[in-house]
């Protein structure tokens, strides 16, 4: 092959490699940007008057005088709308039966949509569910719900492809000539005056409990539950992992026993996470009965088994990275082997061990499959510290799945789902970043 052709091949080869790295970078951005952007909207958004009312009633936050002033503005702006509804109801009673029948179903639907945006009518009894006691707490959701109030949805199936096409029909035309007709334009013109949107920074999203299946409030129990499980797993796995690594590096003699142990550690690392979940159910709950039912303890034990190989490997690498001269100097001064390990090698290896521990925490925090059967529930408060031996807990990873697949109103709480995902990713990546920083310091230290 000629020289120029070889150079062209070489450039093509370089381009191919660079393209693959660029593709990976693009995919990473595509993955993280929407989650980050919409996850931040769980914390920073335009909250409405109902959000501030909810915060005051449920969590006793905010300035009372300012809220009273806003309530007066809300009532003043809402009075004409409520008046129109009442007048139409009176008008409806005096209508001929045929006309009444025509308007009744549509009016019921309109009223329902109205209450979804603006909360219950003042004369009606208080609804039981909190989700019906308040209107929309977020400005973006209020606009979406307002579209459902302003337009009636209909599907047209008389199309060439046979696939339904959505039609949006204005409701004011449905009620043309009645006292309800002005309602829609009035509400449209005064929506921002009624709802009074303000930019809100809701950092308490991380610590508040959820109200009425996450319609309001935050993800505090999930965050706390994830912390419990992570710390529990580390408490079980770290002593065993470090001890095992010390033995494998410093005390084990080469032979079949050593290779068997190494094979088992590698096998443990390769077990699918769902199998850990089944094993946790079968062994810790059904055989050992560490608790009567799901519990943080069972989940922590299962996660500990899962992260054990990571700690063993990281600790082994850290111990091997300690120069031999440290140990030889210690032995030369008369220390015994065990004492040399305890007082010289382990302190020198401590940064590497910390790296492994932090990586394991990230892994334990992010795993869902092992805790499905052993520890995770969907709702409820996180247990008190003394209840972790017998009580299950909500967890971030489990409820991310649960809220976007099992919730009765998935699209209503999309911001909570994104907020949970962002919180979990930030937690795990922060741990990972800490591990990287620790490792960088190790490199610098050993190099110097």
Partner 1 sequence: MNETAQRGLLMSDSACRKGRLMEKLGRSILLLITSLSVFAVLFIFIYIAKDAFPFIKEMGLSRFFGSAQWYPSMDPPSFGAMAIVYGTLMVTVGAIIVAVPLGVAAAICLSDVLPFEVRQVVKPIIEMLAAIPSVAFGFFALVVFAPVLQNHGGALLSTILWVIGLPLGVLLVMVLSEMTASRVQEVRRPSVRLMGHIIFGVALFYLLWRGGACLWNVHIASGTNALNVSFILGMMALPTIVSVAEDSLQAVGRDLREGSYALGATRAETMVRVILPAASSGIASAIILGIMRAFGETMVVWMASGNTARIPSPWYNFLAPVRTLTASIAGDMGEAARGTMRYHVLFVMAFFLLVVSFIMNMLSQWAVDRQRKRWGK
Of residues 390-409, which lie at the interface with partner 1 (CB under 8 A)?
A: 397-398, 400-401, 404-405
b or e along 233-248 (b: 16 or more beta carbons within 10 Å of the residue's beta carbon)?
bbebbbeebbebbbeb
Least distance from partner 1 to the Cβ atom of residue 364, Å: 10
Least distance from partner 1 to the Cβ atom of residue 208, Å: 21
Q: Which two tokens stand for residue 56?
A: 């005051």
Nearby residues of 22 by Cβ (< 8 Å), 6 or more positions away: none
Is 342 a binding residue for partner 1 by CB under 8 A? The answer is no
Is 287 a binding residue for partner 1 by CB under 8 A? The answer is yes
Least distance from partner 1 to the Cβ atom of residue 154, Å: 20
**Residue from the set 327, 363, 407, 415 that interacts with partner 1 by CB under 8 A:** 363
Residues between 297 and 336 with contacts to partner 1, criterion CB under 8 A? 305, 308-309, 312, 336
Pairing of strands 198-201, 44-47: antiparallel
Is 16 a binding residue for partner 1 by CB under 8 A? The answer is yes
**Count of residues touching partner 1 (by CB under 8 A):** 94
Is 343 a binding residue for partner 1 by CB under 8 A? The answer is no
**Residue from the set 366, 383, 392, 394 that interacts with partner 1 by CB under 8 A:** 366
Q: Which residues pair with 376 in a beta bridge?
A: 393
**Residue from the set 59, 82, 279, 326 that interacts with partner 1 by CB under 8 A:** 279
Pairing of strands 165-170, 198-201: unpaired
3-state class of 307 per DSSP?
helix
Least distance from partner 1 to the Cβ atom of residue 149, Å: 24
**Residue from the set 13, 69, 323, 347 that interacts with partner 1 by CB under 8 A:** 13
Q: How far is C-alpha 283 from the geometric centre of its chain's CA atoms?
A: 29
Given the complex with partner 1, which of 76 and 274 has the nearer CB atom?
274
What is the rounded distance in angstroms from the CA atom of residue 194 to the CA atom of residue 383? 40
Among 426, 379, 419, which Cα is nearest to 398's? 379
Contact 315, 241 (CB under 8 A): yes
Given the complex with partner 1, which of 201 and 251 has the nearer CB atom?
251
Distances (CA, A) of 164 to 156, 357, 442: 5, 55, 62
Q: Is the dihedral of CA 264, 266, 272, 277 positive or negative?
A: positive
**Residue from the set 90, 168, 169, 433 that interacts with partner 1 by CB under 8 A:** 433
Least distance from partner 1 to the Cβ atom of residue 132, Å: 26
Q: Which stretch binds partner 1 (CB under 8 A): 69-77, 115-123, 278-286, 326-334?
A: 278-286
What is the rounded distance in angstroms from the CA atom of residue 420 to the CA atom of residue 443? 35
Is 419 a binding residue for partner 1 by CB under 8 A? The answer is no
User: DSSP string covering 353-418, please?
Assistant: HHHHHHHHHHHHHH--HHHHTTTB-SSSPPPPGGGTTT--B--HHHHHHHHHHT-TTGGGGHHHHH
Is 337 a binding residue for partner 1 by CB under 8 A? The answer is yes
Residues in the chain: 448
Nearby residues of 169 by Cβ (< 8 Å), 6 or more positions away: 151, 152, 153, 154
Given the complex with partner 1, which of 122 and 338 has the nearer CB atom?
338
Least distance from partner 1 to the Cβ atom of residue 97, Å: 45
3-state class of 168 per DSSP?
strand
- DSSP, res 217: E
Residues between 176 and 205 with contacts to partner 1, criterion CB under 8 A? none
Is 345 a binding residue for partner 1 by CB under 8 A? The answer is no
Given the complex with partner 1, which of 220 and 362 has the nearer CB atom?
362
**Residue from the set 338, 347, 445, 446 that interacts with partner 1 by CB under 8 A:** 338
Is 277 a binding residue for partner 1 by CB under 8 A? The answer is yes
**Residue from the set 35, 92, 95, 211 that interacts with partner 1 by CB under 8 A:** 35
Least distance from partner 1 to the Cβ atom of residue 396, Å: 8
Residues between 234 and 273 with contacts to partner 1, criterion CB under 8 A? 240, 243-244, 246-248, 251-252, 257, 260-261, 263-273
Contact 368, 401 (CB under 8 A): yes
Given the complex with partner 1, which of 177 and 255 has the nearer CB atom?
255
């Amino acid at each position: 092959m000629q020289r120029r052709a070889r150079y062209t091949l070489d450039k093509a080869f370089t381009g191919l490699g660079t393209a693959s790295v660029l593709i990976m970078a693009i995919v990473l951005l595509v993955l993280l940007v929407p989650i980050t952007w919409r996850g931040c909207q769980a914390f920073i958004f335009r909250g409405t008057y109902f959000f501030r009312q909810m915060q005051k009633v449920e969590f006793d936050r905010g300035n009372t005088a300012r809220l009273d002033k806003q309530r007066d503005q809300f009532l003043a702006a809402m009075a004409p709308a409520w008046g129109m509804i009442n007048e139409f109801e009176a008008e409806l009673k005096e209508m001929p039966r045929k006309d009444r029948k025509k308007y009744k179903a549509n009016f019921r639907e309109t009223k329902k949509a109205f209450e979804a945006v603006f909360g219950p009518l003042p004369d009606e009894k208080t609804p039981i569910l909190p989700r019906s006691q308040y209107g929309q707490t977020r400005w973006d959701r209020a606009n979406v719900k307002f579209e459902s109030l302003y337009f009636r949805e209909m599907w047209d199936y008389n199309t060439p492809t046979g696939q339904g096409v959505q039609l949006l029909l204005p409701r004011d035309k449905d009620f043309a000539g009645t006292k309800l007709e002005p309602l829609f334009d009035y509400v449209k013109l005064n929506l921002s005056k009624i709802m009074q949107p303000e930019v809100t920074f809701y950092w308490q999203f991380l610590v508040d409990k959820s109200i009425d299946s996450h319609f309001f409030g935050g993800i505090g129990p999930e965050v706390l539950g994830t912390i419990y499980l992570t710390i529990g797993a580390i408490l079980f796995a770290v002593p065993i992992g470090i001890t095992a690594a010390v033995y494998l590096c410093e005390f084990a003699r080469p032979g079949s026993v050593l290779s068997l142990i190494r094979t088992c550690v590698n096998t443990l690392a390769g077990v699918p996470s769902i199998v850990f979940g089944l094993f946790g159910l079968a062994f810790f709950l059904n055989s050992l009965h560490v608790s009567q039912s799901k519990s943080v303890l069972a989940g922590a034990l299962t996660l500990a088994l899962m992260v054990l190989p990571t700690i063993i490997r990281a600790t082994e690498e850290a111990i091997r990275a300690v120069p031999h001269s440290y140990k030889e100097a210690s032995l030369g001064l008369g220390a015994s082997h065990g004492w040399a390990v305890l007082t010289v090698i382990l302190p020198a290896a401590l940064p590497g061990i910390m790296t492994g521990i932090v990586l394991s925490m990230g892994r334990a925090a992010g795993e869902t499959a092992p805790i499905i059967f052993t520890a995770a529930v969907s709702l409820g408060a996180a247990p008190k510290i003394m209840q972790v031996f017998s009580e299950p807990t909500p967890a971030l990873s489990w409820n991310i799945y649960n809220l976007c697949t099992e919730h009765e109103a998935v699209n209503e709480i999309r911001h909570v789902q994104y907020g949970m995902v962002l919180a979990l990713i930030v937690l795990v990546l922060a741990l990972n970043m800490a591990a990287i920083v620790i490792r960088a310091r190790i490199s610098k230290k050993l190099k110097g």
